[in-house]
Amino acid sequence: MRCAVLGAGSWGTALAIQLARTNEQVRLWDHQAERAPLLQQARENQRYMAGMRFPDTLEVTGDLVFALEGVQVLIEVVPSQTVREVMAEAARMLPVDAAICCASKGVETGTLMTMNEVLEEVLPPGHHPMLTFLAGPSFAKEVAQGLPTAVVVAGHNRGPADMVSEALHGGAMRAYYTTDVVGAELGGALKNVIAIACGVADGMGAGQNARAALITRGLAEITRLAVVRGANPLTLSGLAGMGDLVLTCTGDLSRNRRVGLGLGRGQQLDAILADLGQVAEGVITARSARDLAQREGVEMPISEEIYQMLYQDKPVDAALMALMGRARKAERDDER
Residues forming the active site: 191
Buried b (16+ CB within 10 A) or exposed e, 71-109: bbbbbbbbbbbebbebbeebeeebeeebbbbbbbbbbbe
Neighbouring CB atoms inside 10 A of 227's CB total 18
Neighbouring CB atoms inside 10 A of 275's CB total 11
Q: Where are the alpha helices (DSSP H) in 81-157?
A: 83-90, 115-122, 140-145
Distance CA 135, CA 105 (A): 8
**Structural contact between residues 235 and 184, judged by C-beta atoms closer than 8 angstroms:** yes
Q: What is the DSSP letter of 23?
A: S
